[in-house]
Amino acid sequence: MQSYSILAKYYDRLMGDFDYDGYIDFIKDYVKGEGIDLACGSGEITVRLAKAGNKMIGIDLSGEMLNVATVKAKSMGLDIKWICQDMLDLELSHKIDFATCVCDGINYIKKDDLATLFAKVRQNIKDGGIFVFDISSSYKLKKILGDNLFCEDYDDITYIWQNTLKKDCVDMDIDFFEKIENDIYRRIEESHRQYIHEREFIQSLIEKNWDFEVFDGEKFSSPTSKSKRLLFVLKTK
């Protein structure tokens, strides 16, 4: 399943409505010291955390996304270590203070692999360490994204995004039409799969080893049944 080949180039623009500044403002008191940003993508959260004075490592499975992140960090004079790796294989040389995973990274993990991910994070952070992550909620994936079509048109890129809702996931097929010159475009196809994770299931996996709070990931307040993003703040027991 090809992912983030062409999307890496336009990801920041297409994510323009995501409130990165509000997100950082909300989590900044939880995450301090040395941290790792899992599924860091284009590095938007990583660089913001580094600018706030944290020593950061960014990890992502997409080399294309990491290339964007590397250029971004260098342009800001930030010294960030980037690792191309599956976060399920996380293994650091020393324990860190916190970890983050923002913008649906957890939704790309199969249900059966979630326990492994939480165990890996726990093994690599210090006692009293923090893990902040979010998910697109079950409500969002089933009621808003599932079985729907989305389109957006820019001067140099147009995309058509078709979703198919399945029992435990949403398959996303995206056709990009990138302008080459004048009226000549090239078509690139990408496919993604996001898994549906119920809040109660995640809580059942983390409650033994972590104290945690759950928030609405857009309003940064108490979540409701119609919250589109759920933000979890975990602290090791």
β-pairing, 149-153 vs 157-165, is antiparallel
Structure tokens at 83: 């690792």
DSSP 149-192: EEEEE-SSEEEEEEEEE-SSEEEEEEEEEEEEETTEEEEEEEEE
> What is the predicted pLDDT for the residue at 3?
59
Structure tokens at 81: 């270590």
Name the pTM for this structure: 0.94
- The pLDDT profile of the chain, 237 residues, written as one tens digit per residue, is 445 668 888 898 888 889 999 999 999 999 999 999 999 999 999 999 999 999 999 999 999 999 999 999 999 999 999 999 999 999 999 999 999 999 999 999 999 999 999 999 999 999 999 999 999 999 999 999 999 999 999 999 999 999 999 999 999 999 999 999 888 999 999 999 999 999 999 999 999 999 999 999 999 999 999 999 999 999 999
> What is the predicted pLDDT for the residue at 1?
41
Question: What torsion, rounded to 10 degrees, do the Cα atoms 145, 138, 108, 120 define?
Answer: 160
Amino acid at 22: G
Q: How far is CA 6 from CA 22, 122, 157, 186, in A?
A: 27, 33, 10, 11
CA atoms within 13 A on the CB side of 167: 2
Amino acid at 210: W
Instruction: Go through the domains of the chain in sequence order and give each one's CATH number.
Output: 7-136+197-236 (3.40.50.150), 140-195 (2.20.25.110)
Residues 116 and 90 sit within 8 Å (Cβ to Cβ): no
